[in-house]
Amino acid sequence: MKILVLGDLHITSNRMHLLPKADKLAAELGVQTIIQVGDFGLSWPGENCPVARYFNKRARQSRQGPDWITCLGNHDNWNTFEKNRTKAILLNAPTDDLVTFPALIPYAPGLYASNRPGYIPTYGGMLFLGGAVSTDADYRPPNHAWGTDHGHPGRVEGKDWWRGEAPTKEELQNFIDVLEDKKPKWIFTHDGPADAHEAKGSGLCLKSNMRYDEIARAFQTISEISEHKPTRWFFGHHHEVLERTFNGTTFHCCGLHGEAWLLDTDTNVCTSLDLAK
């Protein structure tokens, strides 16, 4: 089975063309599932979400298309996520002593957000954990060491920044528990392990009181100490296209604005693609 894994999209009205383009490519490649690794632009900013409108229109017009699953990033509305979490869908839930996590949260027909964490047993097992710490959340004056020469205006809580953007310690522990118990073949997160990308900087988000790379360091530790080594781990957040193998896993950073990986789950072949070309 083929899966298309899309990087950060930051969908606004002038980027909407990427959605039908991805649907068209999926049809040409025989892809039934598109996984988007966060910073999709779901309900960001505000509630009038162009992404949800696209999927609702696709359903009204009875147009065929793949199912989309996003793990959500720090540029997605986590208040909306918490409201929708009560609608979570339980897919083939385990009946053992592992805590049961509803896997998918419906946003529109054919559009789902993964729970945090979310586990789906298909394709050899897929484990999701969205969210990251924003480095652009706070005001930064011009020439600030962590900003740009022009500074940064920061983001407003409840409008374009949400306090629940990063996974909690409990969610990270649940992620580890599912990883060790279910041994998924594939992992999809928004941030990735520190050694899997080039962004080694610091930076402090005062709103969340968390360092920029806290989640990256947590994922790094998990990749090092986990007894189970997933075959591939896909992530976004850093707007790079990279492939690195260490600790028994191949890691893929998924790029920005249409860059993607095509994964064949039967052969383990993974190919880089770019929707913008």
Convert the pLDDT of each residue in 127-159 to its tens digit.
999 999 988 888 877 765 555 566 778 888 888
Return d(Cα 135, Cα 224) in angstroms, integer. 25
From 26, 82, 80, 86, select the one nearest 51 (Cα to Cα): 80
Tokens of 236: 């976004």
232-235/249-254 β-pairing: parallel
Which of the two residues, 139 and 202, has the higher pLDDT score?
Answer: 139
Q: What is the pLDDT at residue 203?
A: 58
Q: What is the pLDDT at residue 4?
A: 98
Average pLDDT value for residue range 214-224: 93
Q: What is the pLDDT at residue 93?
A: 45
Which of the two residues, 199 and 155, has the higher pLDDT score?
Answer: 155
Q: How many CA atoms lie within 13 A of 32 on its CB side?
A: 4
Q: What is the pLDDT at residue 89?
A: 65
Q: Predicted confidence band at 101 (pLDDT cuts at 50, 70, 90)?
A: low
User: Is the pLDDT at 99 greater than 80, yes or no?
Assistant: no
Q: What is the pLDDT at residue 227?
A: 95
Q: Which residues contact 200 (CB under 8 A, 6 or more apart)?
A: 194, 213
Return d(Cα 237, Cα 134) in angstroms, integer. 9
Q: What is the pLDDT at residue 202?
A: 53
- What is the average pLDDT value for the chain, to the nearest integer? 88
In the numeric block, the tokens 């969610």 are attached to 171
Q: Predicted confidence band at 176 (pLDDT cuts at 50, 70, 90)?
A: very high
Return d(Cα 185, Cα 127) in angstroms, integer. 8
Give 46-89 pLDDT, tens digit per residue. 667 899 999 999 999 999 999 999 999 999 999 999 888 877 76
pTM exceeds cut of 0.75: yes
> For the purposes of burial, counting CB atoms within 10 Å of the CB of 122, is it exposed (0-12), middle (13-18) or buried (19 or more)?
middle
Q: What is the pLDDT at residue 62?
A: 96
Return d(Cα 148, Cα 153) in angstroms, integer. 11
Tokens of 25: 């490519």
User: Is the pLDDT at 164 greater than 50, yes or no?
Assistant: yes
Return d(Cα 163, Cα 193) in angstroms, integer. 22
In the numeric block, the tokens 């790379």 are attached to 213
Tokens of 99: 């805590």
Average pLDDT value for residue range 117-134: 94
Return d(Cα 16, Cα 76) in angstroms, integer. 16
Return d(Cα 178, Cα 184) in angstroms, integer. 8
